[in-house]
Amino acid sequence: MPDSPASATPYEVLGVPPTASQEELKRAYRKALRQSHPDVGGESARFHAVQRAWARVGDPVARADYDRGAGRRSAVVPGPERRKTHDSALRARLYGHPGGAAREEFLTLMREWTGRGVEADPYDPALVQSAPREIRRRLAAALAQEATAKALAKLGIGYTVWSDVAAGDGKIDHVVLGPAGLFAVTSADWGGEVRLKRGELTGDTLGAAQPIKELSRSARALGRQLGVKFTGLLVVVPDDDLKEAVSVVGRKADAAVIRRSVLPMVVRDGIAGGTRRSIEDAFELRTRLQHGIRFV
């Protein structure tokens, strides 16, 4: 599987700058290997990450390939995909620009980082992987939102999807309406494994983010604004970043963290143990949402 733009680079894993000499790289690798070894109390995941990092940049030839961008080429796309319209009759109704706000933030930050007036392809793999992680996170978010919208589009004409929806002081990545109800969806990719703990997502790469709390706050704001109630809240992450396909939040079963591959199933069937709306409700809600939703 290709890296996420949000994943730590080998240099970040080893704790050295990309300009480090081969000898400095070797010393950092040996130190990280000693500290992370399970026999001395280190974490297995960290230990394997150090080994993978060294495999990619430890050899001068492999390092040169990585620095040219070969190590992440398949992870970065040149821009948002154009929608295909020839089969639109079989697809969900799509409104808004999935990933648009995140891509705009990425491009703005890349221009500021490279320097105004500098002619550079912001999607060049070598440039992307050398950018600060906070910039790469914006691209990862855009790719995640576009991938989610692509999966939702295949649900069929019984579903309507609004993307990049303004909600109070924030936004909701996707609002999805279908026979199973009304869902607020966050598409996320933090470049590492996440897990559910005490009703919130945690993980080494999340930092101070509280995605479930933030999604809940935005859903309440939009619900009050439009006079609607969401059936469920979904945080969608890459399959490899979540051990269980579906992790239900709390006893109400009105929120869940899910793998992207099971998103269509959850939207069709609802969150296990949750409620469903009738199709009559969906028709009435669609009109209200279509007239009231605004995009960021």
Both 65 and 178 in one domain: the answer is: no
Q: State the pLDDT at residue 90.
A: 76
Structure-block tokens of residue 82: 């154009």
Residues 39 and 157 in one domain: no
| pLDDT tens digits, 231-284 | 999 999 999 999 999 999 987 779 999 999 999 999 999 998 666 666 566 788
In order, the DSSP letters of 3-19 are PPTTSPPHHHHHT--TT
Q: Is residue 111 part of a domain?
A: no
Q: Is residue 2 part of a domain?
A: no
What's the CA gap between 272 and 279, in Å, rounded?
19
Do residues 153 and 37 share a domain? Answer: no
Number of residues written out for the chain:
296
Amino acid making up residue 264: P
What is the identity of the amino acid at 49? Answer: A
Which residue, chain included where needed, has tokens 């430890």? 58
**Is 189 inside a domain boundary?**
yes
pLDDT digits (tens, 9 = 90+) for 50-109: 999 999 999 999 999 898 876 554 444 555 555 554 455 578 999 999 999 999 999 999
Candidates 49, 46, 26; CA nearest to 38 is 46
* Category of 59 on φ-ψ map: left (φ > 0), alpha (ψ -120 to 50) or beta: beta
In a domain, 101, yes or no: no
198-221: average pLDDT: 94
Rounded Cα distance between 180 and 281, Å, is 10
Is 90 exceeded by the pLDDT of residue 42?
Answer: no
In a domain, 169, yes or no: yes
Q: What percent of the chain clears pLDDT 70, i.e. is strictly above it?
A: 89
Please give the pLDDT value at position 2: 57
Domain that residue 57 falls in: 21-72
- Structure tokens that stand for 130 in this block: 């050398």
For residues 117 and 124, give the distance between their C-alpha atoms in angstroms, rounded to a whole number: 17
Say how far apart CA 63 and CA 55 lie, in whole Å: 9
Which pLDDT does position 85 carry in this prediction?
A: 46
Residue 140 domain-assigned (yes or no):
no
Residues 59 and 153 in one domain: no
Are residues 157 and 277 both part of a single domain? yes
Q: Which amino acid is at 241?
A: D
| 159 plus 55 within the same structural domain | no
pLDDT at 1: 45
Is residue 287 one of the residues assigned to a domain?
Answer: yes
- Is the residue at 125 inside a domain? no
What are the beta bridge partners of residue 94? 161
Q: Which is it for the CA torsion 250, 255, 261, 267, positive or negative?
A: positive
- The number of domains in the chain is 2
Q: In this structure, are 254 and 153 located in the same domain?
A: yes
Rounded CA separation 25/4 (Å): 23
